[in-house]
Amino acid sequence: MPTEPPRCATAAFLSTRPTDLINWAQAEAVIATSPKPMSARDLRRKYKAADRPLWRRYGERGEFVSRSAILEFHRDLVNGWIPKNGRRA
């Protein structure tokens, strides 16, 4: 009987789907409460240009993003920790 090799906790965490998935319109609404709001179009363009993870839900159209990931991305972009075009160095 083959056994599965043990996985490290970080790999297991990164391979699972986040539980806080939202669509781009919801992401825009979340970011709208910040001092420097962005449109859903700009968020999507910069987030995808930075090669950040996107998710799909079975039976639903569109792309979904983790709420915590988009908030961290926006914080990093506003603070200048990521270039304005969203790409990593």
Domain contains 15: no
Is the separation of the CB atoms in 64 and 14 below 8 Å? no
Domain contains 70: yes
pLDDT of residue 67: 95
Structure tokens at 31: 């970011």
pLDDT of residue 17: 86
Q: How many domains does the chain have?
A: 1
Instruction: Identify the CA nearest to 73 among candidates 32, 39, 31.
Output: 31
pTM: 0.78
- For the chain (length 89 residues), average pLDDT per consecutive 10? 69 81 95 93 92 90 94 92 66
Domain contains 8: no
Domain with 26, as residue range(s), is 20-78
| Start-to-end C-alpha separation, the chain | 46
Domain contains 2: no
